[in-house]
């Protein structure tokens, strides 16, 4: 009778012993854990998507600011726009190109002393950047006359690194060609003057000839070439022709 009472109380009229409640609780527990894990994965995915979207918007914002600067038709306005972009660029990958263009803008505007600051910032990012090195050894950069050894080292380093120079993002090919001519002539010329100071006149002639071939009207390099040719033994008579041109 007690058995019948227990079966009726538990709703088991078939005579079977009811299953233990522990296994049922364990199954519900596992289902709950799976649901929580699925929810956490969904939440993490949503956060990652939001982070990627924010990063993409930041990249697009930086790109649009840089592109807007390059579209300026006036060199002065382009300089101002690039300065503004660089001031907030942080670690933006376009910052290197922006600094390269800014250095070039100061050089072509005839204010090489103003190019020193962005050139140093560029070297802090890329220690072998040929544009920055050429700007720092430019005769108009305002460096002291007794730092010839440092100028020579920077010029020769710039020539060694020149081969890896790439066009700044967004710069027109024609503009990049003019930039290359300026960079090469400056590095060749200042390396030539370095050899001239060392009284290595043959090496000085080699580098200064390359500089003059690139910029024939640069009086500084024409004069240096004349001196390098006339100081050799025997003197090269063509040096007098260059001296007359200087």
90 vs 37, more confident: 90
| Tokens 């699925």 found at | 38
For residue 92, the model assigns a pLDDT of 86
| % pLDDT > 70, the chain | 73
pLDDT tens digits, 40-53: 555 545 444 444 44
Model pTM? 0.73
Question: In 3-state terms, what secondary structure has residue 203?
Answer: helix
Count Cβ atoms within 10 A of the Cβ of residue 243 and give its class: 0-12 exposed, 13-18 middle, 19 or more buried: middle
Evaluate if residue 212 carries a pLDDT over 60: yes
pLDDT tens digits, 143-169: 655 678 899 999 999 999 999 999 999
C-alpha–C-alpha distance, residues 209 and 211, integer Å: 5
* Token digits of residue 32: 């709950």
pLDDT tens digits, 65-78: 899 999 999 999 99
């Amino acid at each position: 009778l007690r058995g019948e009472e227990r079966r009726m109380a538990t709703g088991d009229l078939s005579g079977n012993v009811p299953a233990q409640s522990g296994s049922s609780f364990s199954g519900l527990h596992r289902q709950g854990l799976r649901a929580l894990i699925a929810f956490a994965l969904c939440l993490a995915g949503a956060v990652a998507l939001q982070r990627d979207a924010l990063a993409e918007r930041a990249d697009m914002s930086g790109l649009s600011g840089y592109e807007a600067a390059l579209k300026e038709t006036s060199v002065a306005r382009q300089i101002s726009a690039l300065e503004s972009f660089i001031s907030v660029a942080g670690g933006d990958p376009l910052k290197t190109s922006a600094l390269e263009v800014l250095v070039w803008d100061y050089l072509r505007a005839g204010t090489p002393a103003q190019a020193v600051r962005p050139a140093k910032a560029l070297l802090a990012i890329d220690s072998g950047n040929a544009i920055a090195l050429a700007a720092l050894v430019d005769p108009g950069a305002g460096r002291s006359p007794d730092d010839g050894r440092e100028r020579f080292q920077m010029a020769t380093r710039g020539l060694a690194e020149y081969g890896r120079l790439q066009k700044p993002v967004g710069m027109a090919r024609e503009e990049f060609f003019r930039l290359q001519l300026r960079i090469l002539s400056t590095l060749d010329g200042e390396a030539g003057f370095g050899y001239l100071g060392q009284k290595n006149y043959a090496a000085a002639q080699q580098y200064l000839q390359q500089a003059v071939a690139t910029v024939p009207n640069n009086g500084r390099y024409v004069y240096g070439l004349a001196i390098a040719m006339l100081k050799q033994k025997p003197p090269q008579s063509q040096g007098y022709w260059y001296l007359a041109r200087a």
